[in-house]
């Protein structure tokens, strides 16, 4: 085999290397950064972003910012009793935002008030930005998130699948 | 050099490109998504998942869900006094879950109750899922987490190393 | 075309494959893990780490640990009234740390006290580690974070740009 042949085999190894990377467990990841400004609503803005970028398995990595409002569903809510809701209208620092975003958002938030006291729950909306919200989203680009009714909970719950199309 | 030779050099560049990617600082990342259902225990389920997938440097990226119980160690605990523990038995929304998972889990959690009030601490267990827990785990696939006793703290603390084997 | 030629084309495909990966939306990611020990200050340690590694788009993925102090700015602070500050000096578990780190840090934290009660706000400093702080940082390696004064808020706010240099 000529030296040229050796070089060609390196090219082959590279290509096979990419295929091997795709076969290992879990998924590779892309990240997206977004800054929202005063008056923008966090939940709907994130949902629009997911739609615009056509993300299939998006989730929150981190979020820092402040809001002037929030509507949260509290821990005692069930599928039969979803009216355990609190509507807040004061300034809060976002100290945690967790969850997944596709095809419906499932986000929980923790907010700190003017005394540092915190309140948390399931995000229903009205997260009006006060000064800023910086969000880093992840997209598991080998996975696809859908939701299916789970008769045990009465809610459509997350279903995780491998994507059929590969890069 | 022929045109063919140029093509061969492109193959070489690709292969060297992969090697360069491995030499840059930090680690590449794989992500795993998992949904737990009613009655499953979050801590032990995550530990089983880490063992099953043989993850070496796993950590929580995000977690959203609800629990009916939790046993937490509180902030005044030390290596000499680890019995600062609270056992909770009511419905909570998970509003934050942070930490690393290998070889022992080191997780802290923040839970919101039926009034939105939050309570937090070090996860000891009993995190029985109410409706769902959606978890995104990261695995730093060029790193390896171990724990070694730190005489300053009395606890086995995280040690971060580069993995010897590369992809 | 000879068999050799086919192999050469595979090498080309690999190289083009890398270029295609770079053209898809969002950014690839590198992760960094860091453990801080007793007495180290979390905010300045993270800022030093970002400077040392020359990170351009760094953010918190997860952080678990404990502190003996914290200075936080609370939710009612504005650009005209930034003295809404609380200085805490007791043991806390870190139950959430969120935000971005370049070129100035913008971090919010949620801390749980000896009874599990939580307090949160904007990190100003004094986060003296009690036993440990384990931090996983992400670096969006195709993005660059800067800050520019936003006249609507009076604060320098996050600006997200594509990096000019590619790998």
> Are residues C140 and A139, on separate chains, in Cβ contact within 8 Å?
no
> Are residues C131 and B27, on separate chains, in Cβ contact within 8 Å?
no
> Are residues A26 and B9, on separate chains, in Cβ contact within 8 Å?
no
Q: Is residue A7 in some structural domain?
A: no
What is the pLDDT at residue A4? 36
Share of chain A above pLDDT 90, in %: 76
Tens digits of per-residue pLDDT, A58-86? 999 999 999 999 999 999 888 888 889 99
Would you say residue C1 has pLDDT above 80? no
C99 Rama sector, left if φ>0, alpha if ψ -120 to 50, beta otherwise = left
> Are residues C15 and B20, on separate chains, in Cβ contact within 8 Å?
no
What is the distance between the alpha carbons of residues B45 and B9, in angstroms, rounded to a whole number?
48
Q: Print the domain residue range for B94.
A: 27-162
Distance of residue A153 Cα from the nearest chain C Cα, in angstroms: 27
Q: What sign for the dihedral angle of Cα C155, C159, C165, C167?
A: positive
Each of the 167 residues of chain B gets a pLDDT tens digit; together they read: 333 334 334 444 454 445 444 456 899 999 999 999 999 999 999 999 999 999 999 999 999 999 999 999 999 888 888 889 999 999 999 999 999 998 899 999 999 999 999 999 999 999 999 999 999 999 999 999 999 999 999 999 999 999 875 44
| B30 → closest Cβ in A26, A98, A121 | A26
> Are residues B118 and C118, on separate chains, in Cβ contact within 8 Å?
yes
Please tell me which chains touch A, using 3 or more CB pairs under 8 Å as the contact test. B, C
CB pairs < 8 Å spanning A and C: 163
Q: Is residue B19 in some structural domain?
A: no
Q: Is residue C16 in some structural domain?
A: no
What is the distance between the alpha carbons of residues B131 and A147, in angstroms, rounded to a whole number?
14
Would you say residue A8 has pLDDT above 60? no
Q: Is residue A167 in some structural domain?
A: no
Would you say residue C81 has pLDDT above 80? yes
Distance of residue B14 Cα from the nearest chain C Cα, in angstroms: 5
What is the pLDDT at residue A24? 63
Tens digits of per-residue pLDDT, A97-141? 999 998 899 999 999 999 999 999 999 999 999 999 999 999 999
Q: Is residue C19 in some structural domain?
A: no
Q: Any idea which residue has 């069930």 for tokens?
A: A78
What is the pLDDT at residue B25? 81
For the domain that residue B117 is a member of, what is the CATH number?
3.30.1330.80
Would you say residue C154 has pLDDT above 90? yes
Q: Is residue C11 in some structural domain?
A: no
| B12 → closest Cβ in A7, A95, A159 | A7
Q: Is residue A153 in some structural domain?
A: yes
Distance of residue C110 Cα from the nearest chain A Cα, in angstroms: 6
Q: Is residue C7 in some structural domain?
A: no
**A9, A54, A45: which is closest to A133 by C-alpha?**
A45
Burial grade of C21 (CB within 10 A; 0-12, 13-18, 19 or more): middle
Q: What angle do CA B153, B158, B159 make, to 5 degrees?
A: 115
Question: Beta strand pairing status for C58-67 and B143-150?
Answer: unpaired
Domain count, chain B: 1
């Amino acid at each position: 085999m000529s030296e040229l042949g050796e070089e060609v085999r390196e090219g082959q190894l590279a290509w096979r290397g990419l295929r091997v990377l795709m076969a290992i467990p879990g998924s590779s990841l892309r990240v997206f950064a977004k800054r929202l400004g005063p008056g923008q609503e966090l939940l709907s803005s994130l949902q629009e972003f997911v739609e615009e970028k056509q993300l299939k398995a998006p989730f929150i990595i981190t979020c820092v910012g402040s809001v002037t409002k929030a509507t949260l569903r509290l821990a005692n809510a069930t599928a039969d009793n979803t009216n355990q809701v609190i509507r807040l209208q004061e300034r809060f620092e976002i100290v945690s935002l967790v969850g997944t975003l596709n095809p419906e958002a499932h986000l929980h938030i923790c907010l700190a008030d003017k005394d540092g006291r915190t309140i948390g729950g399931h995000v229903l909306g009205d997260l009006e930005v006060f000064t800023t919200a910086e969000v880093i989203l992840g997209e598991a680009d080998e996975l696809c998130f859908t939701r299916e009714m789970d008769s045990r909970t009465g809610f459509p719950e997350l279903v995780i699948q491998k994507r059929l199309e590969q890069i």
